[in-house]
Amino acid sequence: MTATVQHRLAVISEPNRFRIVELLKDGPRSVGGIVDQLGLGQPQVSRHLRLLAEAGVVEVTKQAQQRIYRLHPDAMHVISDWVQGFAALWAERMDRLGALLDDDRAPEQNP
Amino acid sequence: MTATVQHRLAVISEPNRFRIVELLKDGPRSVGGIVDQLGLGQPQVSRHLRLLAEAGVVEVTKQAQQRIYRLHPDAMHVISDWVQGFAALWAERMDRLGALLDDDRAPEQNP
DNA sequence: TGCATACATATACATCATCGCATATATTGA
DNA sequence: TCAATATATGCGATGATGTATATGTATGCA
């Protein structure tokens, strides 16, 4: 599977795909609608959408001749879970873990 | 500034840098320690660390001849905030927003 | 003082991936 | 048949990576 967190981040972080994700944050969009917003060619947008879909970031719904793309809830949820794994960083200031390498160090230096 | 969410995601999503971030998740590491873990050359690791530092993902502390790298709490926090912006996706099933394109659908039940 | 360690930084090079663009064709539905 | 998309190909440009190598620079130690 290509659905690791690392892969999803890589796919999302591409500038134009990031814009697509931000667009879809406000709700589903058709390919044509996305093309208008981005100013890219339709084939390029379709390719970006395919990569996003393969990474599980978006999902498609057919509606007449249009394909409606929307964000896949689970995708962002997985990323959220991953980020939460770092919550200890800003919750406990990592002082305990810092003791891993030494323990008699001058305190912090704040400019 | 190069500290946008999109940029941070791009920097973190590079495979070896992602490994570095995961490593630092368990606590600070010296450059040498990271080199041992990754199996990359020291110049390459230093470059990755510099990119991570420029993106505000890690911070450095000098300790004798060593440079101790650790995750920067705020960096992950910013990403967390960004992801939380999508919380409505899995919280409200996006039904309201989905009405943007069509509106004659069977309504959902919320417990 | 002199040397080794630990790292940063820089350069040069080859490679590889990806992107945008243009274009062409296939599919599906009104 | 037209409209909306998907998919594919070729192309050129760009950027990023790894490797090797060299140099600079503190720091610790004999």
Q: How far apart are CA B1 and CA B8, in angstroms?
A: 11
- Range of lowest pLDDT (A3-12, A87-96, A102-111): A102-111
- Rg of chain B (C-alpha set): 20
Q: Which residue has the higher pLDDT, B2 or B65?
A: B65
Query: How do residues A29-66 score in pLDDT, each as one tens digit?
Result: 999 999 999 999 999 999 999 999 999 999 999 988 89
Helices B15-25, B42-54: inter-axial angle, 10-degree rounding: 80
Strand pairing category for A66-71 and B58-63: unpaired
What pLDDT does B75 receive?
A: 86
Q: What is the mean pLDDT of residues A86-95?
A: 66
Q: How far apart are CA B61 and CA B30, in angstroms?
A: 9
This prediction has a pTM of: 0.82
Mutate to test the interface with B, among A90, A95, A96, A109 (most CBs of B within 10 A): A90
Q: Which residue has the higher pLDDT, B41 or A90?
A: B41
Q: Does A2 touch chain B (CB under 8 A)?
A: no
What pLDDT does A91 receive?
A: 66
CA contacts within 13 A on the Cβ side of A24? 28
Which nucleotide minimizes the distance between its C1' and the CA of B42?
A: C7
Percent of chain B with pLDDT over 70: 78
> Is the pLDDT confidence value at A103 over 60?
no
> Is the pLDDT confidence value at A99 over 70?
no
Q: B110 pLDDT band (50/70/90 cuts)?
A: very low
Chain A residues closer than 8 Å to B15 by CB? 6
Sheet with strand A66-71: strands edge to edge: A29-30, A66-71, A58-63
What pLDDT does B35 receive?
A: 93
Given an 8 Å threshold on Cβ–Cβ distance, is A28 in contact with B63?
A: no
Q: What is the mean pLDDT of residues A7-14?
A: 96
Percent of chain A with pLDDT over 90: 63
> Is the pLDDT confidence value at A111 over 70?
no
> Is the pLDDT confidence value at B50 over 50?
yes
What pLDDT does A3 receive?
A: 79
Q: What is the mean pLDDT of chain A?
A: 82
Q: Tell me if A6 sits within 8 A of B15, measured CB to CB.
A: yes
What pLDDT does B98 receive?
A: 46
